[in-house]
Amino acid sequence: MNIDESFLTPAQQIRELEVMTECFRLMQVERSRYELQAAILFERGSFSRQNGNYLLKYKIKDDRFVWHALPASATENSYSGEAPIPKSRTEQIEQLIEFFAQSEVGSMSEGMPRDGSSRYV
């Protein structure tokens, strides 16, 4: 097999590029909001926020940051992810900024708003 071969269809490759682009955009545009969310997560150990039709739940569990996207409708998919917690606080905040952006982008195709509108629960 050639190393340049892709297992993704052209449409999947385009979608993957769109997701990565949106993630990087959110990491820049929503940085202040993500820093605030990181402070809340460190203070409380967990928090939730409503984002469109999904409830996003974040928590610190052992040595990992964990998130769950729970749909309002039982017919929609739920999503989850986790990431290791780095040692330094600066690295932790940077990890969380990426983590928050990924959690939002990961479910956007399922009807979550792209404008970052949400409310904390």
pLDDT, tens digit, for every residue of 24-53? 999 999 999 999 999 999 999 999 988 778
Decide the pairing of beta strands 54-61 and 119-120: unpaired
Q: Read off the tokens for 26.
A: 């959110």
For residue 34, report the phi and psi dihedrals to the nearest 5 degrees.
-65, -35
- Residue 11 DSSP label: H
At 8, which amino acid appears? L
Q: What is the pLDDT of residue 108?
A: 59
This prediction's pTM: 0.76
Region of 33 please: left (phi>0), alpha (psi -120 to 50) or beta.
alpha
Rounded to whole angstroms, how far apart are CA atoms 58 and 43?
12
Q: What is the pLDDT of residue 76?
A: 86
